[in-house]
Chain A
Amino acid sequence: MNLDQKKVVIFSGIAVGALAVMLTVLGNPPNQGICVACFIRDIAGGLGLHRAEAVQYIRPEVPGFILGSFIISLISGEFRARGGSAPLARFVIGFFVMVGALTFLGCPLRMVLRLAAGDLNAIPAFFGFSLGIYYGLFFIKKGYSLGRSYKIPQGNAYLMPAISVFLLLLVAFSPSFIFFSQKGPGSMKAPFIASLAAGLIVGMLAQRSRLCMQGGIRDIFLLRDFHLFSGFVSIFITALVLNIALGKFHPGFANQPIAHSMHLWNFLGMFLAGFGSALLGGCPLRQCILAGEGDADAAVAFLGMLVGAAFSHNFGLAASANGVGSNGKVAVVLGIALLTIIAAFNVSTDIFQKKGSELSNAQEA
């Protein structure tokens, strides 16, 4: 691992941590300067896909991530259309990653940001997330794969960036058919330009560094390698230092902003999100970045998350500061069971027939 590469990931982590805290100063919800899950949920609300009035705003950060990745990958030559790796399975997995994240109230990135603000409820979530990835790796080691993606006509790669531009236009022109929260987290927002700029910068840096919350933990389990995890750590340290400096560091379990203290469900929610992220090969942020690079499968996972967010609120699955309701508990358990089935069904048969194929190789020889 060369030094240059290490620097990029650490620098990206510092920038992401700093931008996240800056966005809360500029008006984003507390401990939620950047949260991919929450923001996708807010977008679902802004589009009217769910009617939870407190969380409706087409957050410019998310189209920013996608467009940042799009722009930088165009420049670096990594922008290429690809797809065809089990899109429907990815949609369903993305759906449940969102259900899990909204049980905890945050994506893996917000989990780190919450920890950095002293929200100790994120600790059981961190263990759940790590264990979920470990559980996913169990299937990957057994032969789970959604299959390879293939080159598809280049025009496909422009769809997700185009959708992102459309979302930005919706916020900019605010037609009467979109929704804006008047109160609650959805009403707390940094100025449009600041949100978009931060999103673009994070998108570019994450594309260049491959920053991924899931990848960091996966690489520790799988390769004993801490490279990607160092990005994770530098986000934490930067946000921690800034939070302390700005008086936003309040250690404890009680009265944390947009959080609850049902430890088991924080744990299980992020277990589901970690498991799903491992099956997808990337955390929610990474899915946005890949979608911007022209990965149609990641774009489908993104749409799965968007729909998952809408269902979470329509069916009363998502948690609130009051905790997780019974619908949410059922959904998380069901999600873990369903993803287990999906994982098991995608264990490729050639592993089961390992001995047989070696035999046939010998016969061929």
Chain B
Amino acid sequence: MEKYPYFMITFPSVHHALRFESKMKETGISFQLVPVPREISSSCGVAARVDFVEEDTLVDTVDNLKLEYDSIYIYDRPKEKPSLVKRWEIR
């Protein structure tokens, strides 16, 4: 069953999702690639569902691995809209 809260990360392309998969495997943070949920808009069809860790830990890990994403959302509880944690900023 789905355990709340969890994160959902969207990506600019499928390649970026696969890159996320290959790099994040080594971090010990558990996640799964899934189709993007309907309530989130995204340019690519694949997202990563990440089991809950501290928000900063996730963001720092992703940043340190230089992984590109679109947005990071958090799902707090069932039947509630996810809230945006962070959007990718152009640097």
Contacts and interface: CB of A to CB of B under 8 A. Distances in A.
Given A82-B43, A149-B43, A212-B45, A143 B35 contact: no
A148 B34 contact: no
A228 B35 CA distance: 8
Contacts of B18: 140-141
Given A140-B18, A148-B16, A222-B14, A209 B46 contact: no
B43 A223 contact: no
Contacts of B33: 222-223
How big is chain B's contact interface, by range? Answer: 20 to 34
Contacts of A222: 14, 33, 46
Given A78-B41, A146-B13, A149-B43, A210 B34 contact: no
Nearest to A365: B64
Interface SS of chain B? loop
Contacts of A357: 66
A8 B38 contact: yes
Interface in B18-40: 18-19, 33-38
A85 B43 CA distance: 11
Nearest to A150: B90
B15 interface: yes
Nearest to B11: A148
A158 to B, nearest CB: 18
B12 interface: yes
B12 A210 contact: no
Contacts of A209: 38
A8 B70 CA distance: 24
Contacts of B76: none
Nearest to B41: A78
B36 A210 contact: yes
Contacts, number: 76
B68 interface: yes
Nearest to B65: A361
Given A82-B43, A219-B45, A295-B43, A281 B34 contact: no
B43 A140 contact: no
B44 interface: yes
A348 interface: yes
A308 interface: no
A144 B90 contact: no
Given A1-B34, A225-B34, A228-B35, A281 B19 contact: no
With a 10 A CB-CB cut-off, give which of A141, A218, A281, A282 has the most chain B CB atoms: A281
21 contacts: A8-B38, A82-B43, A143-B15, A144-B15, A145-B12, A145-B14, A145-B15, A146-B13, A148-B13, A148-B68, A148-B88, A210-B35, A215-B45, A223-B46, A227-B35, A228-B45, A281-B13, A281-B44, A295-B43, A351-B19, A361-B64
Interface of B: 12-16, 18-19, 33-38, 41, 43-46, 64, 66, 68, 70, 88, 90
Interface of A: 1-2, 4-5, 8, 78, 82, 85, 137, 140-141, 143-150, 208-210, 212, 215, 218-219, 222-223, 225, 227-228, 281-282, 290, 295, 348, 351, 357, 361
Given A85-B13, A148-B16, 13 more contacts: A1-B34, A1-B35, A2-B37, A4-B38, A5-B37, A82-B43, A140-B14, A140-B15, A208-B38, A219-B45, A223-B35, A225-B35, A281-B44
